[in-house]
A and B are shown apart, each in its own frame.
Chain A
């Protein structure tokens, strides 16, 4: 079964450094997402991306964050100047369709296994 893959599984960076988290969505999917989960807390939506532009973003997704689809397969999340509070698990997700009644009844949103970011 096709999977969303994320690399690396764990990244350690120093405060103030730039970090890029990488994701390869499922190949025929059109919608891409990033979510964040601070340790022990709930999963929070960051951003959705469709047709090479951001569709929606949350309050968390400030100017320090950016997303890009640099080629036909990768989807990246960049944090320009990391802060201690950026330490979290970052999940990439993708879906074939919009989440509406015309979508497949099965899981519309496939998550990767996450990248654990530790900012020191």
Chain B
């Protein structure tokens, strides 16, 4: 069965600090997909990234970067120079593809203090 673990329940940093959110997954799928979603206080789910299991290239998008390491089954998310607007709950998720639903982690509540 698939499982996504986000061990950090809550992280609090001061604005402009860098912060890394950890995600570890378990899967028996040979091909799978990993996601990060942001849930701001308003409640909606905002897509950030999808990564295919056969593409281990790391990705950078502005202040966001993702480190996918298949060897350790991790897909960590780093925010550089954090801002107050980054405050949200961040969810990592896994899918085996097809019509499978996403399996979400429990989320990490990120608090950026001014």
A and B bind: yes
Q: With a CB–CB cut-off of 8 A, which chain A residues contact B42? A: 113
A109 at interface, CB cutoff 8 A = yes
Assess the A43–B52 pair: CB atoms within 8 A: no
B44 touches A114 (CB 8 A): yes
Identify which of A31, A41, A107 gathers the most chain B CB atoms within 10 Å of its CB: A107
Binding site for A on B (CB under 8 A): 31, 33, 35, 37, 42-45, 47, 50, 52, 54, 91, 93, 95, 97-107
User: A42-66: contact bitstring with B at CB < 8 Å (1 yes, 0 no)?
Assistant: 1111111010000110100000000
Interface of B, secondary structure class, is: loop
Which residues of chain A are near B50, meaning CB under 8 Å? 105-108
Residues of B within 8 A of A75 (CB): none
Subset of 10 A-B contacts with CB under 8 Å: A42-B107, A43-B93, A46-B101, A48-B100, A56-B99, A56-B100, A56-B101, A98-B98, A106-B50, A112-B44
Q: Which residues of A contact B35 (CB under 8 A)?
A: 109
B44 touches A101 (CB 8 A): no
- How far in angstroms is the closest Cβ of chain A from B54? 7
A65 to chain B, nearest CB (A): 14
Q: How large is the interface on A (under 10, 10 to 19, 20 to 34, 35 or more residues)?
A: 20 to 34
Task: List A79-120 residues whose CB lies under 8 Å from chain B.
Answer: 89, 91, 98-101, 105-114, 116
Asked whether A109 and B43 contact (CB < 8 A) given A99-B33, A99-B97, the answer is no
* CA distance in complex: A40, B102 (Å): 18
User: Across the interface, do A100 and B97 meet the contact criterion of CB distance under 8 Å?
Assistant: yes
CB distance from A87 to the nearest CB of B (A): 14
Which residue from chain A places its CB closest to the CB of B42 in the assembled complex?
A113
- The minimal Cβ–Cβ distance linking A64 to chain B, given in whole angstroms, is 18
Contact of B47 among A48, A105, A111 (CB under 8 A): A111
In the complex, are the beta carbons of B98 and A42 less than 8 A apart? no
The 5 closest A-B pairs by CB, nearest first: A45-B101, A55-B99, A107-B47, A111-B45, A43-B104
